[in-house]
Structure 1
Amino acid sequence: AQNLSIPAGEIQTEFGKIGIKAPSALENTKQIEELIVYGSADTGALVRLKDVANVAFEYDKSAQTFKHGDAPAVLLTVYFNQNQNVILIGDDVRASIDRVNKGLPDKLRVHEVLYQPEEVNDSIAGFIVSLLQGIGFVILVVLIGMGIRNALVVSLAIPLSITATLIAMSVIGIDIQQMSIAALIIALGMLVDNSIVISDAVQMKINEGIDIKTACYEGTVEQSIPVLTSTLTTVMAFAPLMVLPGEAGEFAKSLPQVVIIALVASYLVAMFVTPAFASFLFKNTHKPDQKKNRIRHFFEFMLKGAMKMPVMSLAFILIIIGATGYGVLFLKINLFPYADKDLVYIDIYSEKSGDIIYTEKLADELRRMLKDEPEIKAIDTSIGGGFPKFYLTVGVRPPSNDYAQLLMHIDLSESGRFVKREEFAYYLQSKIDTALAGGSATVNLIEINQPGPAVDIKVSGKYREDVNRVARDLYNYLLTDESTINVTNDIADYVYQYKLNVDPDKAMTLGLTNYDVQFQTSLAVNGMTSTVLQKDGNQYDIVVKGDIHSIKDVENLQIKSSITDNKVLMKQFATVTLEKELGSIKRHNRSASVSISSNVRPGFAATDLQNYVENTLLPSLDLEGVEIAFGGDQEMFDKYISGLLGAAAFAVAIIYIILLIQFNSLMQPLIILATVPLSVVGSVLILLILNMEVTFTVGLGVASLIGIVVNNAILLIEYINRERKLEHSVYDACINSVEKRFRPIMLSTTTTVIGLVPLALSNSSFFTPMAVALMGGLMVSTLLTLIVIPLIYYVGHRYE
């Protein structure tokens, strides 16, 4: 009541209204000390707060604090509004930081823990360079394959399609970021595919002696349906990828969106712009004595040989596909590799619960242990909680007095001791495990997906004894296995607590209620914010707290009865005992539950460890009364692979319907879809040769291949059907299809593959595996398609 500030109003005078200023609220500690807490009705004597309590202005010892290196620090976090250019705003912020730094004393400096605008600028600049390199590679390939006039017309598809795509992205709200630029790089080679097909058809007409304008019209009309079908099939392959589940699906969502927009734009350019410019620039290039291309001749020779022994040839193809299926078993799976961030963060857990001073000492000890590592450029520390969100997939840790977090910038090139971040993280973890006492610490790298253990085993059952027994067996095994690191379990431990044993009869006799005991004990031990102090425009909590330092002080605490106003010592109606109880009780589906988790060391696969646990270790244990469930990478694998398989199945079904409509045949769409397993052959083969891991993006690449590789088969089947309408035999039609469609097929594939080269060489954990899988699938599928598709068609139609 003595810390109020109520407007007293105004008095109307002959000079106007004059305000009345009442005594203000508390503004300093002196005023708090002078507060009256008691007045004697008999003598009039006053008891002020300073007579019975110490008043001090001090830091909240339980508050979260930060350090930069060894020095105390204040952390300022800035977030950008949506739809803002972080790079431009970042330049303004950087200028402000530099200006403030110049005016600060020598010992006071502003340091950047994280600076997103710089990271975004570097990342986008790198991707734009890759995009420009890809454009240059594609134009070069087109120039070599088609000549300068034709290449100029075809290459127009690239800037026009990219410009249209950027406009569409702006309209529908897709930002320019890593994923959207990567999508443009992936689509880059495909942007010219439709134009290549149209220009090749026009050139063939011109070479046949048809005048240029008629050739442009007839060539475009002739290929309009195959080009539309090819575009639709590719679009349908990417469309299901927009609805993949989880954080990674949301992260990758813009990739299929941008690719689809670019493909639609390239189709429109191919249908309207390419023939228009061809009518001005194309000319007859036919040479009567022109020699047959040696590579084309080789494929014709191979096709003729296969058609002489069709059954044996098809059996050989099936053996290749079967061998690929067997090769899949040898692929290393790492669904979500670590992000390309030179950041390492360490979670620190103190053994002393609720003691933030001890937690700070533990964090200081760990920082001193690591500061001489040459790879570590800077260390920032958060004590009593985690840092604010510093990456999309890293969660924010709530405040806790027994938790601290270290955030470190690293540069592996400083020493040359480590090639991969995983190796450095394992080195740090091993060093910490052997040297840190009084708590535990876990070294973490930034992950693309929501972070979690590689292997997570959940044991649940009706009886806690059975659950704990099996959990300890699993924990002890993982602890001794050479492939594991950071093995933990959440078996509930017993914790000690003081228990107030209140005698209800004595308490009621003394006029004490449960509320009296609980509230006043909490007030004495924990304290309570009673009001605030207004000072220099800031508000500071005024906390009332008892002078409790030991359990004896609790026993001698006087509890005031809300009924009689009398004070009674705690020990007159209660006893205090030290008892143990479970610190926490975890349940899964209403059953007692324990989780055992582990990460794997570099060079080992989580899938191998889990397969051993599931197929070898668990059958050897007594599992009566318990149930086992797996999480970790296996849960993520099941979640995302099922999503990718569902997307692929949906894409195949839609593509089949599109092909069914175009070719009016049940069999020919199946022949075209035979290219899908051929693409998988290439992807698996190149991953095995390069010893690369299967990641989530590899799945994206393989799923999107479905719509890309069928385009070559569409061109072949469409030409074969057209030849047969001209009364050519099935044999001749199949041979001629390779001869006439060789150049557009090879050129389209080469441009797509070459366009992916910068992405494959970017050394990105997210994009490089996807680009490599796409390149391998496209190359092998194209080479096999030129033989397999005409061969299957010949086998199915040779007796017609």
Structure 2
Amino acid sequence: MKFEDHKTLSFTNWCVENRTTIYIFTFIITLTGFVVYNNLPKEQFPDIKIPQIYINTVYFGTAPADVENTINKPIEKQLKSLNGVKHIKSNALQDVSVILVEFTPDVEVSDALQRVRDAIDKAKQDLPQELDSGPTAQDVNFSEFPIMNINLAGNYSLKQLKEYAEDLQDAIEAMPEISRVDIVGALNREIQINLDLPRMQSTGLTFNDIQMAVQSENINVSGGDLKVGNVRRTLRVKGEFLDMTQLSNLRIRTGTGAVVRLGDVAEVTDSFEEQLDFARLDNKSVITLNVIKRAGANLVKAADDIEVIIDKMKESELPQGLDIRITADQSERTRADLHELINTVIIGFIFVVLVLMFFMGIRDAIFIGLSVPLSALVAFVLMPVLGPLIGTAFTLNTIVLFAFLLGIGLVVDDAIVVIENTHRLFNAHKDWTIQQAVKAAAGEVFVPVLSGTLTTIAPFFPLLFWPGIVGDFMKFLPLTLILTLMSSLFVAYVINPVFAVTFMGRHEDEKEKHDTSIKAIMRPMLILAAMALVGYFVDRGIGNFFVIILVLFVFNHYILTPRILVPFQDKLLPALKENYKKLITWLIKGYRPVFAIVSMVVLLIATFIIVGIAKPEVQFFPSGDPDYIYVYNKLPSGTDALTTDSITKVIEKRVFSVLKTEKAMGIVNSVISNVGKNAGDPNNPDRSATPHKSKVTVAFVKSESRDGRSTQELLTKVRDAVAGIPGTEISVERESTGPPTGKPISIEIAGDDFDKLQLLEKDLLKRVQNSGIEGIDQLKSDLVTNKPEIIIDIDREKAQREGISSSQIALSIRTALFGLEVSKFRDAKDEYPIMVRLKKDDRQQIEKLLSLNIVYRDMNSGGALRQVPITSVANISYSTTFSQINRKDQQRIVTLSSDVLPGYNANEVVAQIQQLVNDVKVPSGYTVKMGGEQEDQAESMNFLTGAFGAAILLIYLILATQFNSVVKPLIIFFTIVLSLIGVLLGFVIFDKTFSVIMSGVGIIALAGIVVKNGILLIEFIDELRERGYPLRNAIIEGGAIRLTPVLLTASAAVLGLIPLAFGITLDFVALFRDFAPNITTGGASSVFWNILAWTIIMGLTFSTILTLLLVPCMYYVNEKVRDKWFRKGKQEVVNPNWQNETI
């Protein structure tokens, strides 16, 4: 064909004619992309903001049953009428109400929060008026977890340590990246008025008398302003207490008119609140600062700035003897993961360029390879623009980086097809200029390239609508890939053609120019040597970089090109094409095409049978060895913090015993213990004070520094070691490797009557225990009924006869026991509560507490003051009650949950339990179902199945539009089936674990990737037939010509993922700085992503090989069937000169 007969693209033509403009534009994009990249906040995983609202209410002295009735039910009543509510979960604990409202994914977080606040306002009229705190509503933000712990220790009092901690807290909270800093293990200052009960009652003094007196005297009030001369001065009445002596000397008038000195009836002390939380680091008491960053803030920068602040304060403000140690620094894992993934991206890029070199030569390979960083930089430029449109700011995290890694082999596809076609046309048409070859090549393949890119994007488009936590966690994968793939299309048709015009030469010319003498490379060697020398004056790494380039340049000149690349291109590649042509010629004879197609159908059926027999292990999210071990300890509700701390020390001792026995202390970074505060599961929305809970955290060093030790084995040994401590419930967990989900085994029993719920609970526990199902760790119920309780039962008839209300009695007991904040004591730094209560000896004895007199005026006796002891109007009894009452969607719920032991298939274990659940007779109005991780897994599987169907439909629409055919898209769809065979057989043969999320996303991604090969084949075969080629010859020649781009695109995609699949990392910074590449395998990030990588590698490899064989067969059969049944009487139009055509 003549150049004039070829289709061209006007915008590519313009770019070729205006190359200077394109080079300037490319420079601007590169510069802007690097700036955006450097400024993107860096974190391990995306900040997840989901429409879940947490409501917290504190009401001290209230039992769980009363919390349920007086707080949870009234609020739930208003919440259930809100639009968009998916689930309402509530927990009634001692003193605390926790409600979690989950909205459907279409509801914005801010809108959900406002709806909940409106509902709370409506419910307030039905809530107790004397609530201590709340109800407060806030959104559930998973960035609210600490990014590091700063531990303070030294030979100082807790009061001094707290002052140092508060100084650090103030400095760190001033950072824009930090939301707040919580102090754990410190004593909180409190001014205490501890009343002596006998003295108090002998004087007739009441709590109310003391409250009114303190509030009246401890004042600081503005009295307005006064003009004195020419100046207006403000008047201020200053009557605040300056010290404890002034407060002790306070005179209080009783109801009888007597005056009592406060110090005569009470101990007034400047003391501390009862310690409800403790912190230890490696068995030493510390004060811990938990640092929490703002959503979307740069985690790595925040950690760096905090270290700078600590160093500065050590030099200027903090004493030298203060030991400050940072633990659980999330930035370390984030740096390691980002560093590892970035290096993996570079290795993948190198692999892609290497495979391009074999097919296209070094020069073409390099400027095609440049499409990878250029596409990424264009995507970076677009991220700040796209962020506000989708309502979520982009950050540089492992999800985004993996999307770039997955895209390495995909973004070069467009450039490969365009440049390979340019290379072919330029070498086939000796009379064409390079400009003509570029224009014709771009126009010839534009439709298949556009179609291929759209079909690759199509499967990722439905993933943008993935609902729930998992969807919010994963959505940056399709977003980044779609951005990058669209950018690659731009690069392939705007920038790469300009590179081709500038750098591409004819194959014969390149061979003739390759002079292997030293003279031919002397000039570039001297230039590189000079640049290395100059580089060493600036930085050793720069100098080393140019030395490595020099070595590679020499290696290429003498070995790579003349001895490897040229022989491959001149001998192996032509031989491969020729043998492929012979194979296709043999395949499309007689009934062989039909036999080949039927064989694949049989293989597909056999594959499903093999998978059913082999039953590969299935997990929700992939996980490797843990970086952290968490030992959660839960004592009966009501246990005080000191008792919990003593049990925690026993647990610590056993943990250290395991670590020392196993000689594992060398791989342990720290062992941190928390009692009370921050002692619960971070994925549990219960944020109440929990003095009966504790947590021991074992933090390990980086995986590459563990000398091959398995931390999973240590977790198992720790679990065995801490088992059997009487009176406590202990669970051993690992850190979450993905978005938070429930337990693998979770049985939810819902209904209203606790008696029936308990019967069902005991029945299910008995069935599971007797079933002998293996793999269950510890199946436990969250229904605890042994919380000790003292019930004060008021005799209303007696109380009313005395003129005393129930609220008076309750308030008096509450003040005596818990105390009442009557005012604030202020000093130069802060303000502290002034608390009134009975002294410890009086309030800790129930008999003395109940002997408390209720003082009131008896109006029937002329207003005389009367004192009536509580015991005369109330009785007491001892019992046990529920420590926590859980509800879900206005029903009480009991949950049986457990982890699955390592080595067991969670899905198989759950399936066996489900059979037991199905056999349980459930009363009307009650339900028993599987929840937790299985519920999340089922939702994700349903979505992924629907997304796969939507992807198939989108791909079919694109292909049907391109080919204007119903059948040809179905031929290409067969390549998706082929990829599925490869994936399933690969998991069985290589004994890989199937991940619901990662493998599911990989299969959906494959649907778009593998169809590219079929599009390239069928598009070119159709074009040859339009030129008049006979059917068989069009298939044979079209397949042979498209063999190179098919192998190139598939090889690039596979090789780009090989480093991640094997966890290969190479430290390029160390390589250039010290010539120490530090090559490692099995990195931490590969554990999370290698299943997805293997899914694509196995599916694409198998599909590519069989696509090259079966698509020609299916095309041939389709055309023959159409000729026989739908084109009767029509002769095939053949160009008599087709053999003389230059393809």
TM range (shorter): over 0.9
The CA RMSD over aligned residues, in Å, is 2.8
Equivalent of 1:124 in 319, 331, 338? 338
Aligned to 1:68: 281
Matched with 2:898 is: 598
Could you give the per-residue CA deviations for residues 452-473 of structure 1, whole angstroms, max 9, x where no partner exists?
Answer: 2111112345765554334223
Amino acid at match of 1:185: L
Contact conserved, 1:64 with 1:384, CA < 8 A, in 2?
yes
CA distance in 1, matches of 2:310, 2:889: 52
8 Å CA contact 2:785–2:880 kept in 1: the answer is: no
Give, in whole Å, the separation in 1 of the partners of 2:304 and 2:894.
50
Quickly say closer, same or farther: Cα 1:297–1:264, change in 2 above 3 A: same
Which residue does 1:33 correspond to in 2?
Answer: 248
More divergent stretch after superposition (202-211 vs 455-464): 455-464
Instruction: Give the AA of the match of 1:437.
Output: P
Once the two structures are TM-superposed, the CA of residue 186 in structure 1 deviates from its matched residue by 0.9
Q: For 1:70 and 1:723, how far apart are their aligned partners in 2?
A: 78
The answer to whether the aligner puts 1:640 opposite 2:940 as a matched pair is: yes
Shift in CA distance, 29/304, structure 1 to aligned 2, threshold 3 Å: farther
User: What is the DSSP-based 3-state SS (H/G/I as helix, E as strand, rest coil) of the residue aligned with 1:371?
Assistant: helix
1:622, CA displacement in angstroms?
4.9
Seen in structure 2, the aligned counterparts of structure 1 residues 352 and 362 have a Cα distance that, compared at 3 Å, is farther
Moved more, 560-569 or 582-591: 582-591
Q: Distance in 2 between matches of 1:456 and 1:119?
A: 30
1:378 aligned residue: 670
> What is the rounded CA distance, in whole Å, between the counterparts of 1:396 and 1:418 in structure 2?
35
Matches within 5 A, 1:157-236: 157-173=371-387, 174-209=394-429, 210-212=431-433, 213-236=435-458
Cα distance between partner residues in 1 of 2:385 and 2:773: 54
**Deviations for 1:411-444, whole angstroms, at most 9, x for unmatched residues?**
478876842x43332221121113x233122122
Cα–Cα, structure 1 residues 294 and 548, in superposed 2: closer, same or farther, change >3 Å?
same
Is 1:551 the counterpart of 2:843 in the alignment? no
Select 1:333's aligned residue among 618, 643, 649: 618
Shift of 1:289: 9.5
Q: Which residue of 2 aligns with 1:742?
A: 1043
Closer/same/farther in 2, CA of residues 425 and 645 from structure 1, 3 Å limit: same
Aligned residue runs from structure 1 range 575-654, under 5 A: 575-586=875-886, 593-615=893-915, 617-618=916-917, 621-622=920-921, 627-654=927-954
Segment drifting more, 715-724 vs 273-282: 273-282
Q: Deviations over 1:673-713 (max 9, x none)?
A: 11111111222222223322222122111111111110000
* Residue type at the aligned position of 1:750: S
Check the 8 A contact 1:62/1:401 in 2, yes or no: no
| CA distances 1:494-543 after superposition (whole Å, capped 9, x unpaired) | 54432223222221221212221121121112221111111232111111
Calculate percent identity across the aligned residue pairs: 24
Q: Deviation per CA, 1:723-761, whole angstroms, max 9, x where unpaired? A: 221232322222222211100000111111111122223
CA contact (8 A) 2:982 2:1099 kept: yes
Question: Which amino acid in 2 is paired with 1:548?
Answer: R
Distance 1:238 1:208, change over 3 A: same
Q: Which residue identity lines up with residue 211 of structure 1 in the other structure?
A: W
Per-residue CA distance 1:90-120 (angstroms, 9 max, x = gap): 3332122234345655653112133333333
Going from structure 1 to structure 2, the CA distance change for 1:100 and 1:453 (only over 3 Å counts) comes to same
Q: Give the deviation of 1:348 after TM superposition.
A: 1.4
Q: 1:130 to 1:744 in 2, by over 3 A?
A: same
SS at match of 1:499: strand
Cα distance in 2 for residues equivalent to 1:458 and 1:570: 43
- TM-fit CA distance, 1:664: 0.4
**Structure 1 partner of 2:153:** none
Whichever residue aligns with residue 475 of structure 1, its letter is L
Structure 1: unaligned runs, 5 residues or longer = none
Which of these residues, 426, 438, 455, is aligned with residue 727 of structure 2? 438
1:262 aligns with 2:484: yes
CA distance in 2, matches of 1:75, 1:582: 32
Match of 2:1109 in 1: 787
Contact 1:394 1:451 in 2 (8 A): no
Deviations 1:307-354 (A, max 9, x none): 332232112101221222234432211112348762222221113624
User: CA separation in 1, counterparts of 2:621 and 2:498?
Assistant: 46
Q: How far apart, CA to CA, are the structure 1 residues paired with 2:330 and 2:572?
A: 58
Paired residues of 1:457 and 1:595 also in contact (CA < 8 A): yes
Structure 1 distance, partners of 2:934, 2:959, is 36
Q: 1:402 to 1:38 in 2, by over 3 A?
A: same
Kindly provide the amino acid, as one letter, of the partner of residue 355 in structure 1.
D
Which amino acid in structure 1 is aligned with residue 693 of structure 2?
Y
2:742 corresponds to 1:457: no
Residue 237 in structure 1 maps to residue 237 in structure 2 = no
Task: Give, in whole Å, the separation in 1 of the partners of 2:644 and 2:500.
Answer: 74
Whole-Å separation in 1 of the counterparts to 2:718 and 2:966 = 60
Relative to structure 1, is the Cα distance of residues 272 and 502 closer, same or farther in structure 2, using a 3 angstrom cutoff?
closer
Residue equivalent to 1:307: 588
2:351 aligned residue (124, 129, 137)? 137
| 1:261-660 correspondence to structure 2 within 5 Å | 261-285=483-507, 293-308=574-589, 309-329=592-612, 330-338=615-623, 342-351=627-636, 353-372=638-657, 373=659, 374=665, 375-386=667-678, 397-411=687-701, 418-419=709-710, 421-434=711-724, 436-447=725-736, 448-460=738-750, 467-479=757-769, 481-491=773-783, 493=785, 495-546=787-838, 547-561=842-856, 564=859, 565-586=865-886, 593-615=893-915, 617-618=916-917, 621-622=920-921, 627-660=927-960
Q: For structure 2, which runs of at least 5 residues remain unmatched after alignment?
A: 1-215, 388-393, 512-568, 660-664, 860-864, 1064-1081, 1124-1143
Write the mapping of 1:79-98 to structure 2, written as runs, cut at 5 A. 79-81=292-294, 84-98=297-311
Q: Secondary structure at the match of 2:396?
A: coil
State the SS of the aligned residue for 2:1087.
coil
Give the 3 Å change call, closer, same or farther, for CA 467–328 of structure 1 in structure 2: farther
**In the superposition, relative to structure 1, how do residues 315 and 543 fare at CA in structure 2: closer, same or farther (>3 Å)?**
same
CA distance in 2, matches of 1:323, 1:123: 40
Return the letter of the residue paired with 1:322. Answer: I
Instruction: Supply the AA of the counterpart residue of 1:783.
Output: I
Give 1:267's aligned amino acid.
L
Check conservation: 1:338, 1:445, Cα contact below 8 A.
Answer: no
**Matched residues in 1 for 2:788 and 2:250: separation?**
40
Preserved CA contact (<8 Å) 2:594 2:1113: no
Preserved CA contact (<8 Å) 1:512 1:563: no
- The secondary structure found in structure 2 opposite 1:603 is coil
> 1:459, 1:575 → 2: CA distance?
36
Give the secondary-structure state (helix, strand or coil) at the position aligned to 2:777.
strand
User: Partners of 2:857 and 2:670 in 1: how far apart?
Assistant: 57
| CA pair 573-276 structure 1, distance change in 2 beyond 3 A | closer
Pair 1:475–1:728, CA change in 2 (3 A): same
Match of 2:23 in 1: none
Could you say which residue in structure 2 is the equivalent of 1:796? Answer: 1118
Q: Cα gap change, 1:152/1:595 in structure 2, threshold over 3 Å: closer, same or farther?
A: closer
Higher mean displacement: 115-124 or 716-725: 115-124
How far apart in 2 are the matches of 1:523 and 1:304? 96
Q: Whole-Å Cα distance in 2 between the matches of residues 592 and 261 of structure 1?
A: 47
Moved more, 161-170 or 138-147: 161-170
Report the TM-score when normalising by structure 1: 0.92
Is the 2:464–2:478 contact (alpha carbons within 8 Å) kept by the matching residues of 1? yes
- How far the C-alpha of 1:382 sits from its partner, in A, is 2.0
Equivalent residues, number: 793
Tell me the secondary structure at the aligned position of residue 289 of structure 2.
coil
